[in-house]
């Protein structure tokens, strides 16, 4: 059991050797949002949890999300009330616990009067949404409260949205979701919380083998990708939260489980264009195809998503082809012609896999999967979990814990004193790099060093992409790398093979050469 008095204050300490001295109640494989939520929920319930991630925390699918904490209006339209309620509850949880990182987001859909997009129908959906989610703001700070939806007149849409096509426009439906100011920072804050209440989190540690004895799982053999050596961790239960790679891991440790994960490709693009509105826009084509283009204001740029495509290739690279990107840009040009998008406007492509309904299809699963391997003849104590959304990862983690620990026979209530520690807010803006680049505060180097130590930064890109948002706009890369390398006195560069090849920024992957814990070759 984890101790109730916590001394770490949310430090994520990468001490692989001492982590291997203990036996864990739960070993979680995969440090995306699903694995981090598993570690948090387990440790808040007094369980000893170890989280291992083969690359950096959150660097795979979770880094690529569109940043929406869904309130579930779309699920309501599909009458999927269970999913709707889960989403509303999780949005509230995020708004309540992370008011500085999750904020209400106004969303508007211009209505041209077809099917569900008729003003009358939309008004009903908005009213129902407000009634069914009437508890959504209980206990939230005023700035975190989710306002009611509203139907806009056509002229109001034209006033609020630049260059909107006014032909046949009949109004606009406005509802509110929430947006993650920085999903990666949110994931790190969740992990800091888990560590604060007793979890251990190790990045650059890859699970490679599972040992079982007559009682079930015994230990997981891992590769420490920094020290380049094998290390073994003992645990009573192992949960495979390896996202798109969960099926590969299930096959290695037990047997292939096709239903666990049929990969589909999804991507968003960061566009070098001024937002058309202060609200996020949900734009449908007039030809009536199903694709909705979501345009999220992102500072003075637009984050647009989400394209969903079939995927039959290997999971080693999730590269979006030029023709796929062009086709998405063509669709965006159809719904927002004034943006005049060409490939030159694309600053970054955020891509990842999502679990599909069928092999080779592009429909994303609706339900998570929690698989107890022992119930199907596999090792006792081995479980695989495949979630569908960032928004609901914590809810899935709670449900998985009840499956793992004997259907709730064990007391799984939260232990006292397991609330969130204060957020790590160094004297530096972790969102925008301006202060870093232009400021001359002599404390900057010290602040960065503390961030490196407290949040398990191994490589420079951990810091620039996954502890801060400084490289969201890649055009700043050279200046930021230079500034941070100088402040930290880090030298040299070394490429390591990236887990799935998509976030590779070789110039940034600068090895931390001064750290005694890191063996350099």
Ligand X SMILES: Cc1cc2nc3c(=O)[nH]c(=O)nc-3n(C[C@H](O)[C@H](O)[C@H](O)COP(=O)(O)OP(=O)(O)OC[C@H]3O[C@@H](n4cnc5c(N)ncnc54)[C@H](O)[C@@H]3O)c2cc1C
98: contact with ligand X by CB under 6 A: no
User: What residues numbered 301-320 form the site for ligand X, per CB under 6 A?
Assistant: 305-306
Site for ligand X contains 266 (CB under 6 A)? yes
Residue 336 CA neighbour count, 13 Å, CB half: 26
- Minimum Å gap between C-beta 2 and ligand X is 22
| Token pair listed for 96 | 């309540």
Q: ∠416-417-423 over CA atoms, to 5°? A: 145
Q: Is 361 exposed, middle or buried (0-12, 13-18, 19+ CB in 10 A)?
A: middle
Do 444 and 436 contact (CB within 8 A), yes or no?
A: yes
The single residue among 48, 133, 182, 268 that binds ligand X, judged by CB under 6 A, is 268
Q: Smallest distance from the beta carbon of 27 to ligand X, in angstroms?
A: 10
| Binds ligand X by CB under 6 A, chosen from 47, 50, 52, 73 | 52
65 vs 129, beta carbon nearer ligand X: 65
In the set 43, 48, 64, 184, which binds ligand X (CB under 6 A)? 64
Counting contacts by CB under 6 A, is residue 92 touching ligand X? no
Query: Does 31 help bind ligand X (rule: CB under 6 A)?
Result: yes
Comparing CB distances to ligand X, the nearer of 352 and 433 is 352
Q: Any contact of residue 35 with ligand X (CB under 6 A)?
A: yes
Determine if the peptide bond prior to 306 is cis (ω within 30°).
yes
Nearest distance in Å: CB 358, ligand X = 18
CB of 375 to ligand X, least distance (A): 22
Q: Is residue 72 close enough to count as binding ligand X by CB under 6 A?
A: no
d(CA 257, CA 259): 6
Angle at CA of residue 373, ends 372 and 378, nearest 5°: 155
Residue in 399, 452, 408, 400 with CA at minimum distance from that of residue 430: 452
Q: Which of 133, 365, 391, 424 binds ligand X (CB under 6 A)?
A: 391
Position closest to ligand X via CB: 32
33 vs 154, beta carbon nearer ligand X: 33
Task: Answer yes or no: are the C-beta atoms of 281 and 302 closer than 8 Å.
Answer: no
Kindly state the smallest distance separating residue 30's Cβ from ligand X, in Å: 3
Residue 388 binds ligand X, judged by CB under 6 A? yes
Per rule CB under 6 A, is residue 242 in the interface with ligand X?
yes
Q: Roughly how many angstroms between the first and final C-alpha of the chain, as a whole number?
A: 39
Tell me if 499 contacts ligand X by CB under 6 A.
yes
DSSP string, 3-60: -SS--STT-B---HHHHTTSEESEEEE--SHHHHHHHHHHHHTT--EEEEESSSTT-S
Q: Min. distance of Cβ 260 from ligand X in angstroms?
A: 11
Give me the 343-372 binding string for ligand X, x by CB under 6 A, dash otherwise. -------x-x-x------------------
Residue 39 interacting with ligand X (CB under 6 A): no
SS3 (DSSP) at 120: helix
Whichever of 395 and 473 has its CB closer to ligand X, that residue is 395
For ligand X, the binding residue among 10, 172, 331, 387 (CB under 6 A) is 387
User: What does residue 408 show for φ and ψ, rounded to 5 degrees?
Assistant: 85, 5
Q: Among 101, 56, 53, 182, which residue's Cα sits nearest to residue 470?
A: 182
Q: Give the number of other Cβ atoms within 10 Å of residue 500's Cβ.
A: 22
Residue 201 as a binder of ligand X (CB under 6 A): the answer is no
Residues that bind ligand X (CB under 6 A): 29-35, 52-55, 59-62, 64-68, 70, 206-207, 241-245, 249, 266-268, 305-306, 350, 352, 354, 387-391, 499
């Amino acid at each position: 059991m984890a101790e109730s008095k916590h001394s770490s204050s949310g430090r994520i300490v990468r001490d692989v050797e001492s982590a291997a001295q203990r036996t864990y109640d739960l070993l979680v494989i995969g440090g995306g949002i699903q694995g981090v939520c598993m570690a948090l929920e387990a440790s808040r319930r007094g369980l000893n949890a170890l989280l291992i991630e083969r690359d950096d925390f959150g660097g795979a699918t979770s880094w690529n999300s569109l940043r929406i904490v869904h309130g579930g209006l779309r699920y309501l339209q599909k009458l999927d009330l269970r999913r709707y309620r889960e989403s509303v509850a999780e949005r509230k949880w995020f708004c309540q616990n992370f008011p500085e990182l999750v904020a209400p987001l106004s969303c508007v859909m211009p209505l041209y009067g077809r099917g569900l997009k008729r003003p009358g129908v939309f008004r009903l959906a908005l009213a129902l949404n407000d009634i069914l989610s009437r508890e959504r703001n209980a206990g939230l700070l005023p700035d975190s409260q989710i306002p009611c939806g509203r139907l806009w007149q056509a002229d109001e849409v034209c006033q609020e949205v630049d260059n909107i096509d006014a032909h046949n426009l009949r109004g606009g439906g406005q509802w509110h979701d929430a947006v993650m100011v920085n999903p990666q920072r949110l994931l790190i804050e969740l992990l800091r919380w888990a560590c604060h209440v007793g979890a251990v989190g190790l990045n650059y540690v890859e699970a490679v083998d599972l040992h079982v004895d007559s009682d079930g799982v015994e230990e997981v053999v891992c590769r420490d990708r920094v020290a380049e050596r094998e290390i073994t961790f003992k645990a009573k239960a192992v949960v495979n939260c390896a996202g798109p790679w969960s099926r590969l891991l299930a096959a290695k440790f037990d047997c292939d489980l096709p239903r666990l994960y049929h990969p589909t490709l999804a991507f968003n693009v960061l566009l070098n264009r001024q937002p058309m509105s202060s609200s996020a826009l949900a734009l449908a084509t007039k030809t009536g195809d199903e694709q909705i283009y979501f345009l999220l204001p992102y500072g003075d740029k637009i984050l647009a998503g989400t394209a969903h495509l079939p995927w039959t290739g290997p999971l080693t690279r999730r590269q979006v082809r030029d023709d796929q990107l062009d086709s998405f840009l063509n669709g965006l040009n159809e719904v927002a012609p004034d943006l005049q998008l060409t490939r030159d406007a694309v600053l970054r492509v955020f891509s990842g896999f999502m679990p599909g309904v069928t092999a080779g299809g592009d429909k994303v699963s609706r339900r998570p999967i929690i698989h107890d391997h022992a119930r199907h003849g596999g090792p006792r104590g081995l479980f695989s979990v495949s979630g569908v959304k960032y928004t609901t990862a914590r809810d899935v983690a709670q449900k998985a814990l009840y499956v793992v620990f004997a259907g709730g026979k064990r007391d799984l209530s939260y232990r006292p004193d397991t609330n969130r520690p204060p957020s790590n807010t160094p004297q530096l803006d972790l969102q925008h790099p301006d202060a870093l680049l232009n400021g001359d505060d002599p404390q900057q180097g010290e602040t960065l060093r503390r961030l490196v130590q407290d949040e398990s930064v191994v490589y420079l890109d951990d810091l620039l992409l996954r502890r801060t948002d400084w490289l969201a706009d890649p055009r700043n890369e050279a200046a930021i790398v230079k500034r941070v390398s100088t402040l930290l006195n880090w030298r040299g560069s070394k490429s390591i093979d990236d887990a799935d090849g998509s976030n590779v920024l070789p110039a940034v992957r600068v090895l931390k050469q001064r750290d005694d814990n890191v063996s350099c070759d």
